[in-house]
Structure 1
Amino acid sequence: MPKFQTRAARVARQIQAASGVKYTTALRLFAPAQEELDLADAMRTAGLTTAADSLTRITLVLAERGMWVGAYAHIENEFIDADPTKVRKARAVCLEAGNAVMRREGFLEAGFEPGAEIYHTAFLALSRAGAVPDGRRLARAAVGVFDSDPLMCSDVIRSEGRCPFTYERADELTGPDTPAAVAARKAARAMAAASRVQVHGDEEWHEAAELLVGAAWHGSVAAGLPPLHGLSEFQDFFETVMERVLDVGP
Structure 2
Amino acid sequence: MPKKQPRAAQLARQIQAVTGLPYTRCLKMCEPSEGSWVRLARELRTAGLTEAADHLLAVDAVTTEASTWFSAGGEIEGLYYYTDNPRVQRTYDACSDAADAVLNRVGFDRHSWDSDAEVYHAAFLALSKAGTLPDGRTLARAALDVFADDATWCSDVIRSKGRAPFTYDTAAGLTGPGTPTAVAARKAARAMARAAAIPFHGDEEWYEAAGVMVEVMWHAAEAAGLPPLEGRPNCQDHLRDFMDGEIPQR
Q: Sort the TM-score into its range (normalised by shorter chain).
A: over 0.9
Are 2:248 and 1:246 aligned? yes
Kindly provide the CA deviation profile for residues 159-216 of structure 1, in whole angstroms up to 9, marking residues without a partner as x: 0101000101101100111110000000000000000011111111011000010010
State the aligned residue count: 244
CA distance in 2, matches of 1:123, 1:230: 21
Match of 1:194 in 2: 195
2:9 corresponds to:
9
Report SS of the residue matched to 2:6: helix
Q: Which residue of 1 aligns with 2:20?
A: 20
* Structure 1 match to 2:62: 61
Q: Deviations over 1:123-156 (max 9, x none)?
A: 0000000011111111000000012311011000
Further displaced range: 180-189 or 14-23: 14-23
1:226 has 2:224 as partner: no
Q: Matched residue of 2:95: which SS?
A: helix
Q: Is the 8 A contact 1:139 1:220 kept in 2?
A: yes
Q: CA deviation at 1:102?
A: 0.1
- Show the counterpart of 1:213: 214
For 2:102, the equivalent position in structure 1 comes to 101
* Pair 1:203-2:204 in alignment: yes
Amino acid across the alignment from 1:62: T
Residues 9 and 246 (structure 1 numbering): CA distance in 2 closer, same or farther, change over 3 Å?
Answer: farther
TM-score scaled by structure 1? 0.93
Aligned pair 1:115/2:116, yes or no?
A: yes
Displacement, 1:7? 2.3
* Comparing 202-211 and 33-42, the one that deviates more: 33-42
Q: Distance in 1 between matches of 2:15 and 2:113?
A: 25
Q: CA deviation at 1:32?
A: 5.1
Three-state SS of the structure 2 residue aligned to 1:77 is: helix
Deviation at 1:108, TM superposition (A): 2.1
CA offsets, 1:53-110, max 9 Å, x none?
Answer: 1111111111111111011111011111211111111022100000000011221242
Q: Which residue of 1 aligns with 2:47?
A: 46
User: Secondary structure of the equivalent of 1:71?
Assistant: helix
In the TM superposition, structure 1's runs of 4+ consecutive aligned residues that sit over 3 Å from their partners are: 30-33
Quick one: distance in 2 between partners of 1:112 and 1:43?
22
Aligned counterparts of 1:84 and 1:235: Cα–Cα separation in 2:
42
| Alpha-carbon distance in structure 2 between the residues aligned to 1:26 and 1:108 | 24
Gaps of 5+ in 1: none
Q: 1:19 deviation in Å?
A: 1.6
State how far apart, in whole Å, the 2-side matches of 1:56 and 1:231 are.
26
Q: Which has the higher mean CA deviation after the structures are superposed, 11-20 or 112-121?
A: 11-20
Query: How big is the shift at 1:33?
Result: 5.9
Partner of 1:74 in structure 2?
Answer: 75
* Conservation of the 8 A alpha-carbon contact between 1:55 and 1:121: yes
Specify whether residues 53 and 17 from structure 1 end up closer, same or farther in structure 2 by C-alpha distance, changes over 3 A only: same
Matches within 5 A, 1:121-140: 121-140=122-141
What TM-score comes out, normalization by structure 2 length?
0.93
Query: 1:131 & 1:232 partners in 2: Cα distance?
Result: 30
Which ranges of structure 2 fall in alignment gaps of 5 or more residues? Answer: none
CA distance in 2, matches of 1:160, 1:97: 25
Return closer, same or farther for 1:228/1:194 CA change in 2, 3 Å cut-off. same
